[in-house]
Amino acid sequence: MRDNFLVFGSPQVGAEEIQEVEAVLRSRWLGTGPRVARFEADFAAFKGVKASQVAAVNSCTAALHISMIAAGLGPGDEVITTALTFCATVNAIIHAGATPVLADIDPLTMNIDPLAVEQRISPRTRAIVPVHFAGRPCAMEGLTALAERHHLKIIEDCAHAVEATYRGAPVGTLGNFGCFSFYVTKNVVTGEGGMIVARAPEEIERARVLALHGMSKDAWHRFGDAGFKHYQVVECGFKYNMMDLQAAIGIHQLARVEANWQRRREIWEGYEAAFAPLGVTTPPPLPEDARHGLHLYTLLIDERRAGITRDAFLDAMTARKIGVGVHYLAIPEHPYYQGRFGWRPEEYPNATRVGRQTVSLPLSPALTSQDVNDVIAAVTEIVGGRRWV
Ligand SMILES: *Cc1c(COP(=O)(O)O)cnc(C)c1O
């Protein structure tokens, strides 16, 4: 057994990030400034969009929130999203003043099912928020067709999918807005952080204003050395700007995004070969018309097949010093949403079943081959050798 605990989702941090953060501290320009501008430019280049089409913010939750406002969503509007996502996706809709409506997932891809979306469209529906779950791009063709037919906006939650592409186009550029997370467990990290990509110049402009107190765009020049600039408050915004301290990490994380993706693919293939023969469900094959972001490697633990419940499996992994995650208990399982919207898990059978069976295994590019072997040995022991259960 391992001596130390393998922390789930622990990021890879290189000497470049450490040096850049130190340089920021020594420069004494900690807040929004030149490194945020560079990170935005690098991210835009990575996504193949103009630098004026992106805005760095301090989380993906913030990105989702102000994208919805900039998309014109508010009270009385319904926004359809997936029943299997992190709570932030749903909370952002609520914070924007709109009403979330859930659609069930496709049980194989775990992504929102366009047929389920279609069934939920009402005269008040104004937007769809697809989540590229685990890094696998959603069936965007079906969603885009619905959006065109019903005049809906699409705000992509790309928190899992920074590297993903769909039929050659980067995710986040397929809808009106794309929202990215640089939270500590994500594929590119800044500690806390996020990015908005928007198609329409006036919409990204509005998002920028909203991200900094609602101050006119000239306010951003306060952060330069061009002398004092007056600013005007043009609406009631938020405090969602990214700091140079955060961007300093992101710049170097983004530079390694491809190498890290390749490393995760090796780990993914190792897991696939090891777990396919066991009594667990491994992720479906990688898509052919899309590039998977490889953010989460999930197993489904069905007690009847695996001989162990999901929760006992989580405990058994922890006992073997392997950190695991659950992404996610379905949204309708949570008491707040049940009380406020009357949602019931049985109305979303696919999301509910996945949420009750799923386990995420460590997939960080920082894993050593010994770590990977330890994960494989632990899973094999737990579901392959019942005597340990
Ligand atoms: C992590 C995550 C978020 C929130 O990201 P933050 O940067 O932590 O705000 C939103 N949606 C999904 C699907 C996520 O996994």
Using one digit for the tens of pLDDT, what is the confidence trace for 310-322?
999 999 999 999 9
* Per-residue pLDDT tens over the stretch 235-269: 999 999 999 999 999 999 999 999 999 999 999 99
Residue from 64, 81, 86 to probe ligand 1 pocket by mutation (most atoms less than 8 Å from CB): 86
Whole-number Å distance, alpha carbon 110 to ligand 1 midpoint, is 17
Considering only CA atoms, which residue is closest to atom 1 of ligand 1? Answer: 159
Considering only CA atoms, which residue is closest to atom 14 of ligand 1? Answer: 159
- Is a pLDDT exceeding 50 seen at residue 386? no
| Position in ligand 1 atom list of the atom nearest CA 182 | 7
Structural domains present in the chain:
15-255 (3.40.640.10), 257-383 (3.90.1150.10)
Whole-number Å distance, alpha carbon 164 to ligand 1 midpoint, is 16
CA distance 218 to 213: 12
Residues 6 or more apart whose CB falls under 8 angstroms from that of 368 comprise none
Choose among 363, 374, 372: nearest CA to 12. 363
Helix (H, G, I), strand (E, B) or coil at 144: helix
3-state secondary structure string across the chain: CCCCCECCCCCCCCHHHHHHHHHHHHHCCCCCCHHHHHHHHHHHHHHCCCHHHEEEECCHHHHHHHHHHHCCCCCCCEEEEECCCCHHHHHHHHHCCCEEEEECECCCCCCECHHHHHHHCCCCEEEEECECHHHCCCCHHHHHHHHHHHCCEEEEECCCCCCCEECCEECCCCCCEEEEECECCCCCCCECCEEEEECCHHHHHHHHHHHECCECHHHHHHHCCCCCCCCCECCCCCECECCHHHHHHHHHHHHCHHHHHHHHHHHHHHHHHHHCCCCCECCCCCCCCEECCCCCEEEECCHHHHCCCHHHHHHHHHHCCECCECCCCCHHHCHHHHHHHCCCHHHCHHHHHHHHHEEEECCCCCCCHHHHHHHHHHHHHHHHCHHHC
Average pLDDT over residues 191-205: 97
- Is a pLDDT exceeding 50 seen at residue 388? no
User: What is the per-residue pLDDT for 214?
Assistant: 95
Which residues are annotated as catalytic? 186
* Per-residue pLDDT tens over the stretch 110-155: 999 999 999 999 999 999 999 999 999 999 999 999 999 999 999 9
Whole-number Å distance, alpha carbon 273 to ligand 1 midpoint, is 30
- Is a pLDDT exceeding 80 seen at residue 221? no
- 256, 361 in Cβ contact below 8 A? no
CA distance 290 to 304: 33
Helix (H, G, I), strand (E, B) or coil at 110: coil
CA distance 76 to 240: 25
- Is a pLDDT exceeding 80 seen at residue 389? no
pTM: 0.97
Phi, psi of 286 (to 5 degrees): -65, 145
* Per-residue pLDDT tens over the stretch 325-360: 999 999 999 999 999 999 999 999 999 999 999 999
| Position in ligand 1 atom list of the atom nearest CA 327 | 15
- Is a pLDDT exceeding 70 seen at residue 98? yes
Helix (H, G, I), strand (E, B) or coil at 278: coil
User: What is the per-residue pLDDT for 228?
Assistant: 76
Average pLDDT over residues 55-78: 98
Whole-number Å distance, alpha carbon 183 to ligand 1 midpoint, is 7
CA distances from 109 to 268, 295, 364 (A): 16, 14, 21
What spatial distance separates the first Cα and last Cα of the chain, rounded to whole Å?
16
CA 160 to chain centroid? 3
Residues lining ligand 1, CB < 6 A?
59-61, 85-86, 88-89, 131, 157, 159-160, 181, 183, 194
Residue from 157, 184, 238 to probe ligand 1 pocket by mutation (most atoms less than 8 Å from CB): 157
Inter-axis angle of helices 34-47 and 244-255, nearest 10: 30
* Per-residue pLDDT tens over the stretch 266-296: 999 999 999 999 999 999 999 999 999 999 9
- 332, 350 in Cβ contact below 8 A? no
Whole-number Å distance, alpha carbon 348 to ligand 1 midpoint, is 21
Which range has the worst mean pLDDT, 85-89, 261-265, 321-325, 381-385?
381-385
Phi, psi of 205 (to 5 degrees): -60, -45
Whole-number Å distance, alpha carbon 57 to ligand 1 midpoint, is 13
Residues 6 or more apart whose CB falls under 8 angstroms from that of 53 comprise 44, 197, 198, 199, 201, 204
pLDDT top residue among 216 and 285: 285
- Is a pLDDT exceeding 60 seen at residue 387? no
User: What is the per-residue pLDDT for 231?
Assistant: 85
| Position in ligand 1 atom list of the atom nearest CA 61 | 9
Asked, as a colleague might, if the bond just before 328 is cis with ω within 30 of 0, I would say yes
* Per-residue pLDDT tens over the stretch 37-61: 999 999 999 999 999 999 999 999 9
Residue from 85, 132, 181, 295 to probe ligand 1 pocket by mutation (most atoms less than 8 Å from CB): 181
- 93, 65 in Cβ contact below 8 A? no
Query: 């697809």: which residue's tokens?
Result: 130
Share of the chain above pLDDT 70, in %: 96
Average pLDDT over residues 215-227: 68
